[in-house]
Amino acid sequence: MNAHEIDYQIYGEEMQYVEIELDPYETVVAEAGSFMMMEDDIEMTTIFGDGSDNSNRGGIWGKVLSAGKRMLTGESLFMTAFTHGGTGKRKVSFASPYPGRIIPMDLTLHENKIVCQKDAFLCAAKGTSVGIEFSKRLGRGFFGGEGFIMQKVEGDGLAFLHAGGTVQEKRLELGETLRVDTGCLVAFTRDVDYDIEMVKGVRNMIFGGEGFFYAKLQGPGTVWVQSLPFSRMADRVIRATRHYGKGGNKGEGSILGGLGDLIDGDNW
């Protein structure tokens, strides 16, 4: 195996974190900003790219190229590596950035490759390659919600993804099709055929409130779907902020309006 063998435990419900147990000289790499806590004898270093063999090929220019590819997915040039340099076992933890679920992925069970949305990767055993996956289809690139570029996670170790709300794993048989809101798609295995499909009916497109396109996924393979994309949650927060920022209140739009808030004490 190229990747380090790590043990883990996931804690929490709505706001989860993953605790990773390292043996001496084992390393885990993580997205910058995901660190939560660590025990003695664990050293943190900042690295270009993901620290895998792929990013180390070609010397310094290989590392720069690997880091540059990460910029295309909207991620930082740098990742953080946490190495246990002492004796015994030590633990380091990484927290999810918003309410949802942490998904452990044993890449050996998924033909050593997972394609995922650009901000899904959280951390992985050292030796895992975190790169980019280009879409070869114009329709998917323009209207698929993730553009032409998605992340790909490759290797033979453990990787951890994060998604919003509740996560559903769907196994698709050969030729079986699943249609998903483009923002709800988290990840899929290498053999899944991913494309976009236009919503049928002008009325549905204009008044349905679900956008103009679905993500269409056809098996065989496995697909992971999230119930609360961060973009959807952020949109609701922004709308609520604008509403209250203009002096609005939650009684607005009801029959009683402001009188309802006066009765339940909001305006006292």
Q: Residue 14: give its domain's CATH number.
A: 3.60.160.10
Q: Per-residue confidence at 97, pLDDT binned at 50, 70, 90?
A: confident
- pLDDT score of 19: 97
Is residue 245 included in any domain, yes or no? no
Is residue 241 included in any domain, yes or no? no
pLDDT in tens, 110-158: 999 999 988 899 999 999 988 888 765 545 444 444 445 788 999 999 9
Is residue 2 included in any domain, yes or no? no
pTM of the model: 0.78
Cα separations (Å) of 176 from 144, 155, 172, 225?
Answer: 20, 27, 6, 16
Is residue 50 included in any domain, yes or no? yes
Q: Reply yes or no on whether the pLDDT at 66 is more than 50.
A: yes
Q: Per-residue confidence at 61, pLDDT binned at 50, 70, 90?
A: low
Structural domain boundaries, residue 197: 7-235
Cα separations (Å) of 145 from 34, 164, 214?
Answer: 24, 16, 9
Is residue 243 included in any domain, yes or no? no
Q: Reply yes or no on whether the pLDDT at 204 is more than 50.
A: no
Among 217, 62, 82, CA closest to 145? 217
- pLDDT score of 199: 67
Rounded distance between C-alpha atoms, residue 165 and residue 148, angstroms: 25
Q: Reply yes or no on whether the pLDDT at 268 is more than 70.
A: no
Cβ(22)–Cβ(82) below 8 Å: yes
- pLDDT score of 240: 77
Is residue 263 included in any domain, yes or no? no
Among 189, 186, 3, CA closest to 102? 186
Rounded distance between C-alpha atoms, residue 74 and residue 77, angstroms: 9
